[in-house]
């Protein structure tokens, strides 16, 4: 009989289905005679007036959805039949908790939880069933979320289930639909917005976090261990979604190219005091923080990622550049106060082709004290945008002023044709780091690129105590590796040999000038290792003689007569060059010194 009453009440509640989009209660609660029931109802706080209006509990009358008699309310009223047996608490944060104790069979029936008054009210209808059975069927836990909001399914089971698979599935008309499990399987409709976290202290317990809620997410869920709907154990949840939200949202998918950048905006309620904001990369079982507002930056993302917070407008800007293929995937933007948090998702997609936006170098290595100019090239479409340079750090990217007259740190910005040039005068070691060039339009940050500047000491600088060569205490001579004896001989002989060769070359040149001058001729002369046509007249002019060349004079071979036997000239240029080669060959063989 009691079981029949239970099913009747459940069916009656489903038929009634009179509930508001802004206040929800469980459809059915069951209690035992002399026991108690707790009814938790949830309401939207988007209209702020909802926090302060009267809340009440009443028995439904003869008209559906209308009160017959009030049981209790936040104004302090309690019906005589419920004195000392009923309570109603409103935390003004969206939760109403009602408790009826010392239950009687006559307490069973249809109740209404509402706000304001019966004539002008937001209401939810539910059934209270009273049974004398020793066991009561598990009731579905009520979860209430807003569109774009989040909910947590807390699932706790006995230790015997620690090693079994954990899951969350949804009950649909055609059976069970698996949403996520601990093996990593995820329904495609929930990619990027759900994770399953196992409690490390107690492996039989876990939490499923679902974010970016949609209206179609509402329904009955089973959180369990083993296999959904067959073996193991489970807990039932009734998820309701309210369409009203105070969280404005934008596009969730951002596309960029290899080596490109993204700019994401995460909106939040500026009235809420979030103590920590961070950006993390989503995985099936966790979301790995990459950067936090407290200054933490994951090593691989130093110089690549920054958070720019605008608490007045409730906007967190996430700028990331130097993107590679491994950065593709889902990211979460999280705001939390330690108890409550707000999460939104962003998907980064890598598209094909080359980046056609901002361009510039990736790394610059410069000497201390130099004046450095770092160019940033931009396409014509950015001409009307605001361009800027900033210096990156763990907490922000501090903009560098474009006002040259107010230049206290030696930095200035000038703009040429399609380029923005950052000039750093007399660069110092403190200027080491990442510099970002970016564009901004209507207050929104857009594309960025990063250049790493590495400042080094000049090569001729005086050594510091750390790199100074050790000195022998007995002398002022630095301990260095002395050259070998052969190197000493070679180094001392080389200047002498070069001097001898130079003297021979000069004497040879004078000899040829005097000899050729007598013949009043023009010849092909070797000077060093280069051969060229040099006029004897030019050579005469060099020594101050006036002896113009005769145009019809026959050219004579200085190596001998045409008909006679060719004799090698003792003072020929070839002999001189060959002698110099032999000298060098004995001293220091070097291909550059051979002829």
Please name the residue that has the structure tokens 């014509």: 380
Q: How confident is the model at residue 590 (pLDDT cuts 50, 70, 90)?
A: very low
* Residues 324 and 393 placed together within one structural domain of the fold: no
Predicted pLDDT at 230: 75
Domain-embedded: residue 317? yes
d(CA 179, CA 176): 9
* Residues 342 and 396 placed together within one structural domain of the fold: no
What are the φ and ψ backbone dihedral angles of 554, each rounded to 5 degrees? -75, 140
Domain-embedded: residue 481? no
C-alpha 84, offset from chain centre: 58
* Residues 270 and 384 placed together within one structural domain of the fold: no
8 A C-beta contact, residue 239 and residue 219? yes
Domain end among 305, 323, 350: 350
**Percent of the chain whose predicted confidence (pLDDT) is above 70:** 68
Domain-embedded: residue 471? no
State how many domains the chain has.
5
Residue 377: pLDDT above 60?
yes
* Residues 30 and 76 placed together within one structural domain of the fold: yes
Strands across the sheet with 419-424, in order? 372-377, 419-424, 411-416
* Residues 24 and 129 placed together within one structural domain of the fold: yes
Predicted pLDDT at 12: 38
* Residues 175 and 262 placed together within one structural domain of the fold: no
- 496 versus 219: the higher-pLDDT residue is 219
* Residues 149 and 132 placed together within one structural domain of the fold: no
- Per-residue tokens: 8: 């009747």
What are the φ and ψ backbone dihedral angles of 329, each rounded to 5 degrees? 145, -160
* Residues 7 and 122 placed together within one structural domain of the fold: yes
8 A C-beta contact, residue 547 and residue 520? yes
* Residues 233 and 264 placed together within one structural domain of the fold: no
pLDDT digits (tens, 9 = 90+) for 232-278: 788 889 888 876 666 555 557 888 999 999 999 888 888 888 999 99
Domain-embedded: residue 477? no
* Residues 184 and 150 placed together within one structural domain of the fold: yes
Residue 382: pLDDT above 50?
yes
* Collapsed DSSP state (helix, strand, coil) of residue 405: helix
* Residues 574 and 517 placed together within one structural domain of the fold: yes
Gyration radius of the chain over CA positions: 44
Domain-embedded: residue 98? yes
> How open is the CA angle 37-65-112, to the nearest 5 degrees?
20
Q: How confident is the model at residue 142 (pLDDT cuts 50, 70, 90)?
A: confident
d(CA 241, CA 214): 7
Q: Which of 222, 70, 53, 231 is nearest to 138 (CA)?
A: 222
Domain-embedded: residue 437? yes
Domain-embedded: residue 11? yes
d(CA 422, CA 238): 58
d(CA 13, CA 27): 6
The chain-wide mean pLDDT, for the chain, equals: 74
Please name the residue that has the structure tokens 């093996």: 183
Give the CATH number of the domain where residue 182 resides: 2.60.40.10
Please name the residue that has the structure tokens 């550049």: 321
- Per-residue tokens: 414: 């000038």
What's the distance, Cα to Cα, between the start and end of the chain in Å? 119
Residue-level length of the chain: 595
Q: How confident is the model at residue 146 (pLDDT cuts 50, 70, 90)?
A: confident
- Measuring CA to CA, how many Å separate 50 from each of 22, 38, 91, 586? 9, 22, 11, 103
Residue 399: pLDDT above 70?
yes
- Measuring CA to CA, how many Å separate 17 from each of 110, 125, 255, 271, 552? 12, 7, 43, 35, 125
Domain end among 305, 324, 350: 350
Domain end among 350, 377, 412: 350
For residue 477, count CB atoms less than 10 angstroms from its CB and return exposed for 0-12, middle for 13-18, buried for 19 or more. exposed
d(CA 337, CA 277): 9
8 A C-beta contact, residue 37 and residue 138? no
* Residues 336 and 214 placed together within one structural domain of the fold: no
What are the φ and ψ backbone dihedral angles of 493, each rounded to 5 degrees? -80, -30
Predicted pLDDT at 498: 62
pLDDT digits (tens, 9 = 90+) for 167-211: 999 988 888 899 999 988 899 999 889 999 888 888 889 999 998
Residue 105 structural domain? 2-138
Q: Which of 346, 355, 350, 340 is nearest to 317 (CA)?
A: 346
Domain-embedded: residue 435? yes
- Per-residue tokens: 378: 């931009």
Strand positions, DSSP E, 156-218: 166-172, 175-181, 194-198, 206-211
8 A C-beta contact, residue 369 and residue 426? yes
53-56: long-range pairs with CB below 8 Å, 24+? 53/115, 53/116, 54/115, 54/116, 54/117, 55/88, 55/90, 55/96, 55/113, 55/114, 55/115, 56/88, 56/113, 56/114, 56/115, 56/117
d(CA 181, CA 165): 7
């Amino acid at each position: 009989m009691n079981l029949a009453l239970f099913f009747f009440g459940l069916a009656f509640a489903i038929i009634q289905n009179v509930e508001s989009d802004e206040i929800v209660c469980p459809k059915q609660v069951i209690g035992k005679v002399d026991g108690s029931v707790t009814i938790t109802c949830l309401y939207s706080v988007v209209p702020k007036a909802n926090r302060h209006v009267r809340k009440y509990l009443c028995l439904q009358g003869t008209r559906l959805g209308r009160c017959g008699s009030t049981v209790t309310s936040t104004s302090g009223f309690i019906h005589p039949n419920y004195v000392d047996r009923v309570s109603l608490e409103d935390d003004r944060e969206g939760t109403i908790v009602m408790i009826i104790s010392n239950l009687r069979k006559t307490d069973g029936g249809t109740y209404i939880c509402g706000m304001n008054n019966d004539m002008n009210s937001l209401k939810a209808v539910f059934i209270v069933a009273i049974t004398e059975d020793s066991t009561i069927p598990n009731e579905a836990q009520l979860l209430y979320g807003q569109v774009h909001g989040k909910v947590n399914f807390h699932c706790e089971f006995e230790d015997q289930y620690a090693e079994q698979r954990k899951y969350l599935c949804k009950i649909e008309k055609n059976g069970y639909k698996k949403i996520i499990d601990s093996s990593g399987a995820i329904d495609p409709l929930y990619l990027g917005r759900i994770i399953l976290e196992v409690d490390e202290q107690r492996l039989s317990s876990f939490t499923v976090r679902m974010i970016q809620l949609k209206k179609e997410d509402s329904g009955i869920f089973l959180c369990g261990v083993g296999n959904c709907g067959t073996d193991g154990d489970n807990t039932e949840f009734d998820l309701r979604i309210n369409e009203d939200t105070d969280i404005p949202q934008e596009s969730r998918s951002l596309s960029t190219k290899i080596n490109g950048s993204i700019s994401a905006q995460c909106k939040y309620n500026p009235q809420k005091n979030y103590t920590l904001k961070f950006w993390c990369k989503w995985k099936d079982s966790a979301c790995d923080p990459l950067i936090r507002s407290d200054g933490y930056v994951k090593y691989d993302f130093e110089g690549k990622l920054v958070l720019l917070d605008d608490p007045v407008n409730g906007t967190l800007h996430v700028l990331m550049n130097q993107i590679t293929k491994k950065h593709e995937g889902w990211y979460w933007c999280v705001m939390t106060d330690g108890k409550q948090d707000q999460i939104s998702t962003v998907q980064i997609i890598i598209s094909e082709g080359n980046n056609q936006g901002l361009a510039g170098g990736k790394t610059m290595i410069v000497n201390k004290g130099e004046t450095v100019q770092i160019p940033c090239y931009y396409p014509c479409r950015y001409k009307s945008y605001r361009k800027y340079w900033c210096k990156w750090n763990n907490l922000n990217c501090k903009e560098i002023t474009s006002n040259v007259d107010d230049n206290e740190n030696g930095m200035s910005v000038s703009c040429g044709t399609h380029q923005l040039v950052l000039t750093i005068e007399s660069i110092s070691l403190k200027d080491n780091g990442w510099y970002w060039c970016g564009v901004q339009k209507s207050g929104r940050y857009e594309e960025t690129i990063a250049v790493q500047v590495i400042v080094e000491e000049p090569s001729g600088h005086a050594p510091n105590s750390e790199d100074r060569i050790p000195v022998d205490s007995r002398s002022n001579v630095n301990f260095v590796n002395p050259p070998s004896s052969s190197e000493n001989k070679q180094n001392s002989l080389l200047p002498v040999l070069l001097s001898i060769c130079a003297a021979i070359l000069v004497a040879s040149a004078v000899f040829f000038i005097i000899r050729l001058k007598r013949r009043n001729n023009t010849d092909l002369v070797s000077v060093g290792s280069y051969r060229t046509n040099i006029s004897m007249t030019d050579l005469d002019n060099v020594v101050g003689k006036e002896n113009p060349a005769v145009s019809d004079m026959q050219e004579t071979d200085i190596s001998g007569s045409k008909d006679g036997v060719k004799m090698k000239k003792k003072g020929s240029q070839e002999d001189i060059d060959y002698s110099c080669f032999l000298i060098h060959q004995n001293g220091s063989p070097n291909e550059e010194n051979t002829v």
